[in-house]
Amino acid sequence: MKGPHNIIRLIRTGATLERTGAMDVVLEAFRAPPRLRFAARMLGWPFKWLGLQGDLSLPPATRALTALGPAYIKFGQILSTRPDIVGEELAQQLKYLQDKLPPFPVETAKKMIEAELEQPVATLFSEFSDPVAAASIAQVHRARLAETGEEVAVKVLRPGIERAFRKDIDAFYLAARWIERLAPFSRRLRPVEVIRHFEGVVMGELDLRLESSNAAEFAANTAQDEGFQVPKPFWFLSSRNVMTLGWAEGIGLNDNDLIDAAGFDRRVLGARVLQLFLNHALRDGFFHADMHQGNLKIAANGDIIAYDFGIMGRIDEYTRRVYAEILMGFIRKDYRRVAEVHFEAGYVPPDRDIDEFARALRAVGEPIFGMDASRISMARLLAYLFEVTERFGMETRTELILLQRTMVVVEGVARSLDPHINIWQVAGPIVERYIRENVGPKAVLRDLVKTARVLGRFGPKLPALVEAQLIRAGNPATQPPRPERSRGTFLWPALAALGFAAGWLARAYL
């Protein structure tokens, strides 16, 4: 992580943005304040001659990001889903990064497949195409299985991609440490921890065996979801650097003209994308965390097909309930409850004023209720949210980064399909159903039953444990200097209370 090469890498980043003409585009898109514009210029302009030239046929921002490498391309893919933040023109330019990057030679891909699967490509596949899509980490070939004739997608990692990512990540670590030292207020955002989280996500994405596992689990979870498909993985044709999935035929969700020509209702599709994501996040706690338009298609029957499962998010049951209560509070305009949930979950330091926090949340929520989505400036809204988090000392929660990022991306996809979508109205039924089933008396009973089952596994050991505690309690030699009440003395009353509560709730609510 240390060394002058990282400093050179950061300088080259600024120089490349300057040389390609992307610096002005990026600063203008983010409405950067004068101080930041000056700092960016000082990083790029004096070293402009060090910048990478990139592909001259591409627009400035796309040209710069593709020249800088895969980590920068990932960032551009996220921005491509948010025209309401970076502007329609820049978002359109960045869509190129989703699946239209320059491919590597098909012969190189075949050699990698043969090395990984230890069989000739001609033996495994009766047909094998040139690359049909190329992204930052891998490219995809359309093929046909020699044994069954089934059409499949064969994904092959780019040669040397892991080394390229590590170079970028090392430079990002250096930038994060500089930011923490030069701007102490940024420490609550935990930039180093954020980069460490990003590194873990990316390194997992570079092992296609894990992606195959993600695809299989995701397919099992969503098998009953109406209007949604997940291609199945072929394990015997997958390895660390190669993955084979069923072929997904359909219209890319990034082509509104084709969607309209095919007669699909984009308003319905936009609502479905958002509701599917919420269902997966709340119901399953396992969701597609890279749901940009380049990873979604529409089948001939109108189903949404998801693919590319390298980045998946997972949240525990407690976090799901917190997330649902926050969403429900906004939907019902109960900002006091939203504030309480933040304090209960520890997202806001306990020494802050809960009423002040609720007032700040009202200023976030009220302007976007009942307003046409096309009239809402997400850039200004996010800027105000940042001010709120700073004022109330909220630190970045690395365990929620994927959830928050995906929520932003999915909302951007929904808006691209339906610029007038009412996000809260669409989310309402999904969140309300989750609240009914998972927050309240039935959920308490379910938790008690789970607790009783866990305790039940230790049933044969309980007498010996209690006896050991009683012996220890009666033997002065085993007593600590400051005697504490033995846990054993609470065990049986706790079990009795648990049984009574479970029985009472079962009679009352089941």
Give residue for tokens 């700092």. 39
Phi and psi of 228, rounded to 5°?
Answer: -145, 135
Spell out the domain ranges in the chain: 4-98, 102-135+137-247, 251-439, 441-509
pLDDT value, residue 494: 42
What band does 130 get if pLDDT is binned at 50, 70 and 90?
very high
> CA–CA distance from 3 to each of 176, 191, 226 (Å)?
15, 19, 52
Report which of 359, 319, 307, 304 is spatially closest to residue 336, judged by C-alpha positions.
359
**Residue 488 pLDDT greater than 50, yes or no:** no
Question: What is the per-residue pLDDT across 38-92, written as a single tens digit (0 to 9) for each?
Answer: 767 776 677 777 778 888 888 888 888 888 887 788 777 767 766 656 777 787 7
pLDDT value, residue 497: 41
Q: How many CA atoms lie within 13 A of 85 on its CB side?
A: 19
Q: How many CA atoms lie within 13 A of 343 on its CB side?
A: 16
**Residue 298 pLDDT greater than 80, yes or no:** yes
Q: Determine the angle formed by the axes of helices 401-417 and 423-438, rounding to 10 degrees.
A: 140
Is residue 79 a contact partner of residue 86, using CB atoms and an 8 Å limit?
yes
> CA–CA distance from 18 to each of 59, 66, 121, 335, 465 (Å)?
13, 14, 44, 44, 70
Question: What is the per-residue pLDDT across 8-25, written as a single tens digit (0 to 9) for each?
Answer: 777 788 788 888 877 877
Is residue 257 a contact partner of residue 251, using CB atoms and an 8 Å limit?
no
Scanning 345-461, the segments in alpha helix (DSSP H) are 354-365, 378-391, 401-417, 423-438, 441-457
Scanning 106-233, the segments in alpha helix (DSSP H) are 106-117, 121-124, 161-182, 191-205, 208-221
pLDDT value, residue 187: 66
pLDDT value, residue 347: 84
Task: Round to whole Å and give the CA distance between 342 and 322.
Answer: 8
Question: Which stretch of 56-70, 126-140, 261-275, 495-509 has the lowest confidence by average pLDDT?
Answer: 495-509
pTM: 0.71
Task: Round to whole Å and give the CA distance between 437 and 222.
Answer: 18
Active site residue 207: no
Which residue out of 168, 290, 308, 418 is catalytically annotated?
A: 290
